[in-house]
Homo-oligomer: A and B are copies of this chain.
Amino acid sequence: MHTVHEVIEMSGHIIDSYTLPRAWDTIMDRGGNFDVEEMQVGATKNDTSYVRLKVSAPNDEILEQIISQLQQLGAVMMQADDVHTHTVEQDGVLPAKFYSTTNLPTQVRLEGQWVTVEKIEMDVAVVIDRAQKRAYCRPMHDVKVGDEVVIGHGGIRVQAYERERERDTFAFMQSDVSSEKTKVRAIHNIAQQMKEVRARQGKILFVLGPAVIHTGAGRYVAELIRLGYVQVIFGGNAIITHDVESALFGTSLGVNLKSGDQVEGGHRHHLQAINAIRGVGSIDKAIEVGLLREGITYEAHKHNIPMVLAGSVRDDGPMPGVISDMQVAQGLMREEVQGVEMAIMIASMLHAIATGNLLPARVRTFVIDINQSVVTKLSDRGSFQAAGLVTDAELFLRELLEAVKKD
């Protein structure tokens, strides 16, 4: 049988991080084969290993698929050509063989030099600026006629995610989303990491679902903002609406947050909250005139914390400040995730997935939800870096706040 082949090399902790066996799996699962041309195994746990594989496949298409997969594991093609590109011929349409990114650190070879792709995120294209010798991520709908887009797999280098040896909280949580684990320790560890991130002026992103307000935990988030542990907030119409409702009426979805009573039957309060803010024109104005005096939104505005609120088709209102156009909302989220070092997603599914798609793999991401299937779903979406905690949003935030306040 006629076959095609490529030679690739991999190095690092490729054996104890399971990278090499996964590479071999990938090759064989796709119908390819390989020869080990050279292999040096690190003798102790501190030594790295090296392997050079000749990968063969029955045809070019399969070979390309295999190489594409191996690149995500950190493989580099031996014949280091420059990256191949193709010019966009139609706005919002990519060349057929466009290279689709991972969220791992990625480099492309331009005139013999490895250049880091900027603003890395998953599932987008890479646009080359030859004049500046720079490379950027660009979502499909944003490419313009004339953009030079990376195609194929040559001249691309992806830095694989190496599982850390340390048994830290992260590893502990990552291994398992079980609710049957001691969580206080995990929460304290998250608090510790938040302090470290803030000590080096890093940004912490919170993605919040409306259950944060319904459970009465909004005040803990407000306090975290005041203490300087929140640098950016993502959410939707529901979180801001119920936050404002709770500030104006003391209720969330009509339930009194102090007494737990249903104050009035329907959803009237949340509509009144939206209408009231629409009446004065904006959140800024509502704060200025003294209408809005507390809550997450209030604190965020007082402390100049950007809130990106992406609407959805189920929204009432919406509240002023909520973005109705999804491309615009994504665009703003893309800007705000720059520089984020840690993301904490609580009781949110839609906005958490949207955010997960935009975050580079290096961002430590914690997903907190009481529903195990939500946590699993988020952890499964190719976000290597996401760790899940199946627990109660309210009690999580209460504990987290106490933990960051201790020295």
Contacts and interface: CB of A to CB of B under 8 A. Distances in A.
Nearest to A73: B265
A28 B45 contact: yes
A364 B19 CA distance: 29
Contact of A100 (B100, B271, B317): B271
Given A169-B260, A370-B391, A310 B310 contact: no
Contacts of A131: none
Contacts of A141: 317-318
A316 B123 contact: yes
B354 A313 contact: yes
B326 A167 contact: no
A59 interface: no
Interface string A198-238: 00000000000011001111000000000000000000100
B216 A371 contact: no
Given A271-B123, A313-B351, A264 B165 contact: no
B24 A15 contact: yes
A273 B90 CA distance: 16
A300 interface: no
A25 interface: yes
Nearest to A43: B36
Contacts of A266: 68-69, 72, 100, 102, 123, 382
Given A93-B275, A373-B372, A392-B392, A214 B180 contact: yes
Given A16-B24, A370-B391, A181 B275 contact: no
Interface string A373-394: 1001000101000000011101
A20 B262 CA distance: 19
A94 interface: yes
Interface in A328-383: 329-330, 333, 347, 349-351, 353-354, 357, 370-373, 376, 380, 382
A398 interface: yes
A21 to B, nearest CB: 5
A315 B326 contact: yes
A328 to B, nearest CB: 8
B24 A21 contact: no
Contacts of A39: 41
Contact of A140 (B268, B312, B316): B316
Contacts of A102: 266
A98 interface: yes
A192 interface: no
A329 to B, nearest CB: 5
Contacts of A139: 316
Contacts of A257: 182
Nearest to A51: B41
A310 to B, nearest CB: 4
A65 interface: yes
B43 A35 contact: yes
A312 B333 CA distance: 13
Nearest to A267: B123
Interface string A178-204: 111111111000000000000000000
Contacts of A150: none
A399 interface: yes
A210 B178 CA distance: 13
Nearest to A94: B275
8 contacts: A167-B259, A180-B210, A182-B215, A184-B398, A266-B382, A312-B350, A325-B325, A392-B392
Given A16-B28, A313-B330, 13 more contacts: A20-B21, A33-B45, A100-B267, A179-B392, A181-B214, A182-B216, A182-B394, A184-B394, A185-B260, A314-B350, A314-B353, A391-B395, A392-B395
Closest 3 CB pairs of A and B: A182-B216, A395-B395, A314-B354
